[in-house]
Each structure stands twice: as structure tokens, then as C-alpha cells.
Amino acid sequence: MSELDRTVETVPAPASAEDDRGGLARGRRVVLGVVGGAALMAVGGLLATALVKSPAQVAAEAGPPTQGALTAEVERRVLAETVVMRGTVVAGQSVTVSPQGLRTGEGSGAAVVTKLPLKPGDPVKAGQLLAEVSGRPVFALHGSLPMYRDLKPGATGDDVAQLQQALRELGHGTGEDARGLFGPGTKAALAARYKAVGYDPLPAVADGGSALKAAREAVRSAQWAVEDAGGAGGAGAGTGQPAPGATPGPGPGPGKASGSGRELARAREALTEARTALAAAEAADGPMLPAAETVFLGNFPARVGYVGGQVGAAASGPVLTLSAGELVVEAYLKEDKKQLLRAGMTVLISSELAGSDARGRVSAVAAERSGTQAAGRTQQDQAQGQGQDAKGTGGGSGGGGDLGYRMVIRPDQPLPASFAGQDVRLTVESAATDGEALVVPVTAVSAGADGRTVVTAQGADGAQRRVEVRIGTSGDGYVAVAPVQSGALTAGTRVVVGAAPKGAPR
């Protein structure tokens, strides 16, 4: 075969129409893939540019923003400076009944609680039995003076007058006894009170009556001596009659002389002295009121707050506590707050437990610091004597810790009984403006180098001007101001109180 023939044989045959369409489709896919990849790379580059920052760019963006003025509105209102603290609602008088100093009768055994007729919350009326310790009663009487001593026949004083009044209130008359004198009428009235509660009173002279018996025997012997001397031993000399109640003596025998005048005078003097001693013995004889057997309370009915003793147990501590009188609020102040508060200030008493408020006033702020003691105990309570424990109702030691200065708040209206014992919030108005005043935040006020006190007012257009003011009462972060130039500052004006970033709310 020739060369021409071989060339002709290698020439490909013309492509068909179907082959042309397949090639075009493949070309388009390749182009689209390249374009999509380029688009993804572009988007990724943009994201990387937004998120990745150079150190210089980070430092630039961390710089402080441009500052602007922070303002507050001038208000017109009453401004009050307040002090907030906690307090406890207590009774006006609180007394702890303890067996200290209680006479236990025969023997010297330890005091034991033998009867407790009351439980917490029970009402107590005057004259009522409170407890029995080693067979001896403890009962309540009406009075405001502390029971600081045993009262015995012949005693005098205001505490005796208080006892007489308390006995008369219970229906026991004191006869013709003078006010404040423990005489025969008071003896009878006291004996009747003990009988009413079911006990015998303790004798004032614990000798079984031997002193009185000896005094009577001395009078009888003196009468006989007068008769033996030839005189009369009766009520008056020369009567020839024996003294009332005395046993007639044998007298001089028949034919005997009546004796010398000196012997008769001495015998009569001895009789006078014996009669004086008998009168004193009779005055001292009778019932007594031990301090440990009586609790004086200023108001009735009282309430039992706490019963600490148990029947049969040794009465080594407080047996029970009593509270009487109106409910008040007691708080203790530290030195800084004491300087701010004084009697007469208005107080808002808030009970979170009851969900209600009451108003009152500070009635007293102690001048001296108080040691550890129970809430509600007054100085009078602490001096109530052996029958009322001076340690207080809370079991404190009486002088351990330092509570601060005692403040008492009396409510304008009686507090509900449910408030008793509650821990309440006290808001005391320690200062207030006389009526409404212009009030600005304390941060709005500044003092210039010239000594003037000013605020900076800012208008709606942002323009600022300095206004000289006089400052007044401050409290709760605000201060009352008065412009030196009348009308230079009014309610609603905005004053600069600080700086804020531009664009921040003002």
C-alpha cells in the first residue's frame, strides 16, 4: 500500500451531534466549579478581615471614649435624713421571778419548785399566785416602786404606803394605820391576803412568840413588885388595882408595912419600862412580807412571757418572767448613731412578719452605755429586789457585753399584741426640711476656690451655667439647696452630677 493510502485511512470520521452536546455540558460544569470556589474564597477573606485585628488596632479601640455630662433633675419636696436600724418590741415593764432569798421554811435545803400554775401567755391579775417554791408563795401586787426589802411591822416609808394601797385595792382594809406605817391594820390586811391565796404568812419575829411572852411576864413581875412595895400596879399609881391583863400578886401580908417610898418609886419605874418593852414587842410581832414572795407590777393584767422552772426541779434560776404595760420598741445605739438621735424624733416601725407599719417617737436615749441584759428591762426592774432577778429575762450575766446606748420608742397608737417580741425595722427621721425645698444629689454640689458653693445647671441645648447656692439638710444622698439669686434655680432644671461616655443616657 502506498503512503497516500495510509494517510487517508487515519483521518477520523466526523463527530456526530450527540458527541458535541456532551462536551459542552462538561465544559459548563468546570466553569461553574471554578467560579463557586472563587466566591467562597472571597467571602472567607472578608470574614477574616473583620475578625482578625492587629495589636495596634486593638490598642486604638481600647482607648477612653469621649466624655459627656451626667445630669439629674432638681426636685421640690420635703427632704428627711433617716437612720435605719433594728429593734425589739417589748413590754414597758419586764420582771424575772427567781427564788433568790426565798425563805424555805424549816431546814436549810435547796429551794425546789413545788407549784407552777401558769403557762406562757397566761394573763395575770393583781393578787394572783404566780408560783410556789419550797411551799412558799410568790404573788403579784400592784405598784411601781421596787420591792427592795422585807416589810415588817413597825416599818415606815413609801414602799409601806404602796403595800397598803395594793392591799386596799384587793379589798383588805388597813384600819386606822397612818399612811406609810406598818401598824395593826396593815398586819390584819396582809394576813388576810395570805389567807386568800391559801398560805400562812411568815412571822416577823421568828422565835415562836417567846419574845412577846417574855415581855408580858416582865410586866406581870413589875406589877407584883409595885404591889409588894405598897403601891398600885394598875393603870395609874394609887388606884390599888392591878394592870389590865396582869395576874394579881400576893401583896403584902397582914401587919406588914407598906415599904419605903424609894422602893415604891423604883418598882413603878421598872413597871413603866416593862410596859414600854411590851408595847414594842407587840408592835414587832405579826406577819411580814418577804421581798422574795412579792412581785410589784405597774399595770394589770400582765402576761407570762416565759416559764423556766419545772415542778420538782431545783429553783436555781429564773422561774418565770412577767411583762406588763404598753408595748414599746427598744434598740441599742452605737456611738455614731447616738450623736444623731434624740428624744422627740419621728420613727416608722415596720413589722415584716405582720406586714404593717406604725408610727411613733423616740421617748428616751440613755446617757450611759448598757451592759448585757434582757430586752424590756428598765432600771426599776433591775432593782426589784431578791424576788425579781436583776439579771434580766434573757439569762444574761448583767454586766458582760456592751450593748450600747438604750433607746426607747413609744408608738403613737398602741401596738397590736401580735407585735410583742418581734424584731422590727426602725426608720428614724433624724433631720428634715421645714416644708418643701429644692433638692439635688449631693454630687451636684461643689465648692469653688473662692469658697462659694455652686451647682452647674445645663439647658436643653447643652449650655451650662454655674448657680451659687446655700445648702441645708442632707440625707439619703440628697441635699436641700437654695439659690443665692432668687429664681436662678427651679424644680425641673437639670444639674450636672458627673461625667458619662458620649451617647450614654443622661
Preceding peptide of 301 cis, ω within 30°: yes
Give the relative orientation of helices 261-284 and 210-228 as an angle to the nearest 10 degrees. Answer: 160
pLDDT given at position 8 = 45
For 202, the grid coordinates are: 411568815
Q: What CA–CA distance (Å, rounded) separates 199 from 127?
A: 13
pLDDT given at position 62 = 63
Across the 506 residues of the chain, what is the mean pLDDT of every consecutive 10-residue run?
47 53 65 73 67 64 65 90 89 78 60 90 92 93 91 95 97 95 96 96 88 87 85 47 48 48 86 88 90 90 85 84 87 88 93 92 90 44 40 37 86 86 90 86 87 90 91 86 92 88 55
243-259: b (≥16 Cβ within 10 Å) or e: beebeebeeeeeeeeee
pLDDT given at position 377 = 44
pLDDT given at position 453 = 92
pLDDT given at position 98 = 80
pLDDT given at position 361 = 95
Give the angle 88-92-96 at the CA atoms, nearest 5°. Answer: 90
pLDDT given at position 60 = 58
pLDDT given at position 386 = 39
Closest CA to 246 of 236, 234, 238: 234
The partner residues of 494 in beta bridges, in order of sequence, read 73, 458
Judged on CB neighbours under 10 Å (0-12, 13-18, 19+), 21 is exposed
